[in-house]
Amino acid sequence: MRLFLITISLAGIAAAQTSDQVQTSGGAPADTHERTSAKHDVGSGAGDIGKGAAKGVGSAAKGTGKAAGDLVTLHPIDAATDLGKGAVNTGKNVGVGAVKGTAKIVKGTGKGIKHIF
């Protein structure tokens, strides 16, 4: 567990340093986007995780609702299909949100550690 946390921290530091060092041939920064703070990255990452979870709950509810309607109308195969689609979309939405959010949190953590050292 300790090795995992150290690895994640070092990856965040490396990502923060490489993004700050990217320049064009003229010496100007490569991107014209406003740089974000470590707090913003961590907060935005937490928001992405929450959005992914919310989308997942919506997908589960939609699939369950369709499945219930199909069962009432005596279409059990369609009900199973709708329930499966809802479950797959739930997993996809939660997974995407978690990955995006974790990446932003790692980036923000790296920026924070970079300022300490």
Residue 40 has pLDDT above 50, yes or no: yes
Higher-confidence position of 37 and 4:
37
Distances (CA, A) of 78 to 4, 45, 66, 71: 44, 37, 9, 8
Distances (CA, A) of 50 to 11, 13, 31, 46, 95: 23, 24, 28, 6, 11
pLDDT category at 18 given cuts 50, 70, 90 is: very low
The pTM of this model reads 0.64
Give the start-to-end residue ranges of the domains of the chain.
Answer: 2-16+39-116
Kindly provide the b/e burial profile for residues 23-45, where b requires at least 16 CB atoms within 10 angstroms of the residue's own CB. eeeeeeeeeeeeeeebeebbebb
